Amino acid sequence: MKYLHKQLLHCVVYGCTLLPVAAMAAGVEFPQETGGYKKSDLPGYKIASGLCLMCHSSQYASSQPPKSSPAYWNATIHKMKDVYKAPVTDEMIPAVVEYLSVEYGGQDRAAAHADYEKAMAKLKTPAEGDSVKK
């Protein structure tokens, strides 16, 4: 019985790997992403549009809780970076947090920019424990 389950699993895995190839060979065309993030002049818009759409649709941001705080967006982006290995750098995160906080979290633009400035200053200033004593 165990052998039969193992064979069945192999067939399912093999079939799933061949399905996209068979679909392309049959001329099936998959639709392109038609949505996008809310347009903005904030620098985080370009980063989110370029990197976040690589893995999931733009509806991900709009499906998050309304009025999500900057702390929420910051934690979400860090999760994407640390757990899912999204190619976002620490220097990009404050800009994306600012953009998402304004466009999807309803945060005041001036307050979001102040948070961005603080985050960038923190990145440029090493913490006390991080400096090497000579």
pLDDT exceeds 90 at position 127: no
Mean pLDDT over all residues of the chain? 84
> pLDDT tens, 38-79?
999 999 999 999 999 888 888 889 999 989 999 999 999 999
Average pLDDT over residues 113-119: 95
Q: How confident is the model at residue 30 (pLDDT cuts 50, 70, 90)?
A: low
Distance CA 53, CA 66 (A): 20
pLDDT exceeds 60 at position 132: no
**77 burial level (CB within 10 Å; 0-12, 13-18, 19+):** buried
Percent pLDDT > 90 in the chain is 57
Distance CA 69, CA 29 (A): 39
pTM to 2 decimals?
0.69
Tokens 């067939």 sit on residue:
11
The pLDDT score that the predictor gives to residue 134 is: 46
Q: How confident is the model at residue 29 (pLDDT cuts 50, 70, 90)?
A: confident
Domains of the chain: residue spans and CATH:
43-124 (1.10.760.10)
Distances (CA, A) of 86 to 2, 48, 69, 90, 93: 38, 11, 21, 11, 11
